[in-house]
Structure 1
Amino acid sequence: MKWFVIHANTGHENKVKRNIEMAIKSNHMEDSFGEVLVATQEVTEMKNGKRSTVKRKFFPSYILVEMIMDKDTQHFINSIPGVTRFIGGTPQKPQPITRDEVDRILGRISAPEEAGETLEIPYEVGDSVQVMDGPFTEWVGVINEINRDKGKLKVMISIFGSETPVELDFLQVKPV
């Protein structure tokens, strides 16, 4: 079996994935198909000063299908509602993706479990922020450095006319 990429209607990837899986079962085609995947990754976001974990598609509109490609299976996939086309090759002869590409994609899907979550930060160096927690509550400073691995910011706060670096957690500040 080889991996193929199909294009699905945007925003309906999970529904199309379920349609494919149900159609495979109801047509007893399990021998011709392996896994069906929508590539997602858990990302931690900061919204309104709170951390929340969401699943993000890192290939929106695309579904990975492990299958034996022949005219019947190709027609079968193309006939499922929400599938627009195969990606790669020609409409008559779709090309599978390489083993390297599959390994990179599957590695990226499983990476959050192995390496911790990815933290998405809505701040950049130079942004003004207000401290919401800790000894500098309500003070305003400018972000000088971002450490995404530790989830920390270095904020320069003016104390008695002197710029002082203060290390803060992302949750301790809000944009000004």
Structure 2
Amino acid sequence: MSEVQEPKWYVVHTYSGHENKVKATIEKAVVTRGMENIITQVIVPTEDVVETTSTGKEKVRQRKVYPSYVLIKMIITDESWYVVRNTKGVTGFVGPGSKPVPLSEAEVAAMGIELPENNIVSGDVDLEPGDVVKIIRGSFADSVGTVEEVNKEKREAKILTEIFGRKSPVTIGIESIEKL
């Protein structure tokens, strides 16, 4: 191969409720096999939803935007296909005959999944409690808050931000946060 291939976004179908397990398993396999340059990002798109409980309190929870699907930015090789396809919980790639078909740039943009070029699989989390951040995606987009906790394994942060006139903690994926 004389030209360098660019990673593209692919959609993988999973068993219902196994999206996060599949994501974690693929990320672990990528690190142990040294494939960080081939499989660069694995995401389960979520959005924050505000629900009212029976007692009238409002609770924020994350809801999967595309249940039973995981999005992977990767270069298709025999090894990368094998790693993803043989991950427990994966039923196959989305495409004719389970042949991986990359998403077009328009589809990626429409889904709102094009993330800044940070390597989700092996990149370090550069957030600490007390950091001021801006939420750039989801229901709380454009909100500013303060980091309370950082979960590096889950790549999430608990942000204290103003919701309905008072400070409330919200758990947000790190890819949806911009450090100020």
Question: TM-score interval w.r.t. the shorter chain?
Answer: 0.5 to 0.7
**Match for residue 94 of structure 2 among 66, 87, 93:** 87
More helix as a share of residues: 1
The alignment of Structure 1 onto Structure 2 pairs a total of residues equal to 116
Q: Output the CA distance in 1 between the equivalents of 2:138 and 2:18.
A: 24
Aligned pair 1:39/2:49, yes or no? no
Q: Output the CA distance in 1 between the equivalents of 2:27 and 2:113.
A: 23
Alpha-carbon contact 1:3-1:96 (below 8 Å) kept: yes
Letter in 2 for 1:99: E
Report the TM-score when normalising by structure 2.
0.59
**Match for residue 53 of structure 1 among 60, 70, 89:** 60
More strand as a share of residues: 1
Aligned-residue offset at 1:107: 5.6
Q: Output the CA distance in 1 between the equivalents of 2:80 and 2:59.
A: 40
**Match for residue 2 of structure 1 among 3, 8, 27:** 8
Aligned-residue offset at 1:89: 3.2
Aligned pair 1:106/2:133, yes or no? no
Aligned pair 1:28/2:34, yes or no? yes
Tell me which stretches of 4 or more aligned residues in structure 1 moved more than 3 Å.
none
Q: Please list every run of 5 or more consecutive structure 2 residues that lacks an aligned counterpart in the other structure.
A: 1-6, 115-135, 144-163, 165-180
- Secondary structure of 2:87's aligned partner: coil
Aligned pair 1:71/2:78, yes or no? yes
Q: Output the CA distance in 1 between the equivalents of 2:70 and 2:102.
A: 13
Letter in 2 for 1:83: V
Q: Output the CA distance in 1 between the equivalents of 2:36 and 2:57.
A: 44
Alpha-carbon contact 2:48-2:140 (below 8 Å) kept: no
Letter in 2 for 1:77: V
Name the CA shift for 1:13/1:107 in 2 (closer, same or farther; >3 Å).
closer
Deviations along 1:45-84, one digit per CA (max 9) or x if unpaired, are: 1111110000000100000000001222111211111111
Letter in 2 for 1:9: Y
Letter in 1 for 2:80: T
Q: Output the CA distance in 1 between the equivalents of 2:40 and 2:110.
A: 18
Letter in 1 for 2:106: D
Paired-residue identity, %: 36
Q: Output the CA distance in 2 between the equivalents of 1:90 and 1:71.
A: 16
Q: CA RMSD in A?
A: 2.1
Letter in 2 for 1:26: T
Aligned-residue offset at 1:104: 2.2
